[in-house]
């Protein structure tokens, strides 16, 4: 007597094995597609989305601060926005939203080379989207150059502005690499600390260079408002600051896995 669910013939057995192989093959294909999406596509989308939101809030805070003395409003807005976005999207992409940060993280061993270029492209695109969404029909937009940096007005201030950008980016990227990448000093409070670092730097250097520390944050509004005065400062300064951070972490402060000397 045949039991319930038992295969009656050898042909049924062959069909079952064949169907199992097909289903198993589809499962492996789906897993591979899902893995590629989560490793490469989703992180880039998170960087695009997060950078767009960050730059939108940053530009809006600068536009809204026109006519008000001090940098408290932009400082708090940038710091809070960045901290929240890192907390929400950090587990997907690392929450860089900054080409200089991505460069320092890669050189400190925190991300693969295959993601560095796509991250930077996503961040630059997100910067343009965020700045484009911050176009308000207001005279304040024109006065603030659309949230672009127009603090440096004379050639004599170029050196101090570049050094300020370098030092503030050194501070920011050091907090990122030591607080989120380095295994000995990694902390759950890294998003909060990074947001506070941005706030502190804007309060300290906002009147000197605008305290950008982020080429994507400078590039987006520069494209939208067509404001390119001394734009190179916001590439050279942050890049040099990121490279200084890498030197300190790789040579002095990194854990045994990260250091290249005295292992």
**218 near 212, Cβ under 8 Å?**
yes
Q: What is the pLDDT of residue 233?
A: 96
Q: What is the pLDDT of residue 16?
A: 52
Residue 10 — pLDDT band, cuts 50, 70, 90?
A: very low
CATH-assigned architecture of domain 10-253: Up-down Bundle (1.20)
- Express each pLDDT in 117-141 by its tens digit: 999 999 999 999 999 999 877 888 8
Domain ranges of the chain: 10-253
Mean model confidence pLDDT for the chain = 89
Report pTM.
Answer: 0.87
Q: What is the pLDDT of residue 69?
A: 76
- Express each pLDDT in 201-253 by its tens digit: 999 999 999 999 999 999 999 999 999 999 999 999 999 999 999 999 999 99
Q: Is residue 190 over pLDDT 90?
A: yes
Residue 44 — pLDDT band, cuts 50, 70, 90?
A: very high
């Amino acid at each position: 007597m045949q039991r319930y669910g038992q295969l009656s013939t050898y042909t049924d057995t062959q069909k079952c094995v064949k169907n199992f192989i097909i289903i198993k093959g589809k499962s492996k294909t789906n897993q591979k597609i899902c893995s590629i999406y989560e490793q490469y596509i989703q992180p880039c989308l998170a960087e695009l989305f997060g950078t767009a939101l960050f730059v939108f809030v940053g530009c809006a805070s600068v536009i809204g601060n026109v006519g008000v003395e001090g940098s408290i409003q932009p400082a708090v807005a940038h710091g809070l926005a960045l901290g929240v976005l890192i907390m929400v999207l950090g587990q997907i992409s690392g929450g860089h939203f900054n080409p200089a940060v991505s460069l320092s993280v890669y050189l400190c061993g925190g991300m693969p080379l295959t993601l560095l270029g796509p991250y930077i492209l996503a961040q630059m695109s997100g910067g343009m989207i965020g700045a484009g969404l911050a176009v308000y029909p207001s005279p304040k937009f024109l006065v603030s150059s659309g949230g672009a940096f127009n603090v440096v007005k004379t050639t004599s201030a170029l050196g101090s502005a570049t050094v300020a950008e370098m030092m503030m980016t050194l501070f920011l990227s050091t907090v990122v690499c030591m607080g989120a990448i380095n295994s000995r000093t990694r902390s759950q409070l890294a998003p909060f600390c990074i947001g506070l670092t941005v706030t502190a730097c804007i309060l300290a250097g906002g009147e000197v260079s605008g305290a950008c520390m982020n080429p994507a944050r400078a590039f987006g509004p520069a494209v939208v408002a067509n404001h390119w005065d001394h734009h190179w400062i916001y590439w050279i300064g942050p890049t040099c600051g990121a490279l200084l951070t890498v030197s300190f972490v790789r040579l002095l402060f990194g854990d045994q896995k990260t250091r290249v000397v005295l292992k």
